[in-house]
Amino acid sequence: MRTVGIVGAGAIGASWAALALHHGLDVVVADPTAGAETALRETVATLLGELDSTYADERLRVSRDSAEAGRDADLVLECGPERLDIKREIFAALDQVAGPQVLLASSSSGLPPSAFQSAARRHPERVLVAHPFNPPHLVPLVEVVGGTGTSEVAIEAAMTILQSLGKRPIRLRREVPGHVANRLQAALWREAYHLVGEGVASVSDIDAAIASGPGLRWSLLGPFATQHLSGGPGGLQHVLEHLGPPMVDWWNDLGSPELTPRLVETLVAGVRDELDGQDVGDLRARRDRALRELMDTKSRLDLD
């Protein structure tokens, strides 16, 4: 693989571009937005700095035509707006110019590939979702989802290519709205919003409950393996036998909040109070530095 095509120069597209350049690949980014090239080059330079990497300017080309991202590419990553009509238009254009062996992968955070796959009339079998976790140049997870017309060859090729880029791809065996990681997040957010709305805890305390508690362990092993370790010699079997029934009672007590204006106002005010005037850009930079250090530690300890 020599060239990666990317449609969309926003946060996800720029992060994908930085990762590909970091791995020595040429990149073609297509985005019709005025000023997209200037903003993209500035962002990519910053992200590559985070990776202690540089690139020659000529290795990154920018076009306003989405078809250009597929014309010379060995892999295309679509990072356009989360709108079905736009994605169908993009994939129809890419399908006309990309070679039949070139994977066309969407970064969609929730749309199933079957919804836009048919727009690629020549070769719908090579269309799939490869949903990264933000920011893609740092976070390894990518969810690979095939549509009803996606070939097994395409799925296997996507898994192999993503691994070569240092990613940790997981394969979804069937399409579900929101894929896996966002559904898991949504489940936690649902209860977090409910607890705030019911006055059980503040926004900052709920953030602390995760960031200073289970979130630390989940970042290393995930919920199942963590639960297994908490069960002592009996592992997960012991946990499910002895702590499972009370957990079912908790499930039955979980909330189903509505995003009313009042709840939205409470959540937003809570985050504002929690951050207490901190610069968001600085906070994001410190978070990303911690992410890099965490990934280095996980790799050194073989916890990938």
Location of structure tokens 């009339």:
121
pLDDT-flagged residues of the chain (< 50):
none
pLDDT of residue 56: 86
Query: What structural domains does the chain harbor?
Result: 3-172 (3.40.50.720), 181-300 (1.10.1040.10)
Per-residue pLDDT, 77: 98
- DSSP state, residue 123: -
Which are the contacts of 74, defined by CB distance < 8 A and separation ≥ 6? 1, 2, 3, 4, 102
Q: At what angle do helices 203-211 and 214-221 cross, to 10 degrees?
A: 40
Cβ–Cβ under 8 Å, residues 203 and 271: yes
Residue 55 confidence (pLDDT): 84
- CA-closest candidate to residue 46, choices 30, 22, 27: 22
d(CA 183, CA 164): 27
For the entire predicted model, the pTM comes to 0.92
Retrieve residue 109's tokens. Answer: 């955070």
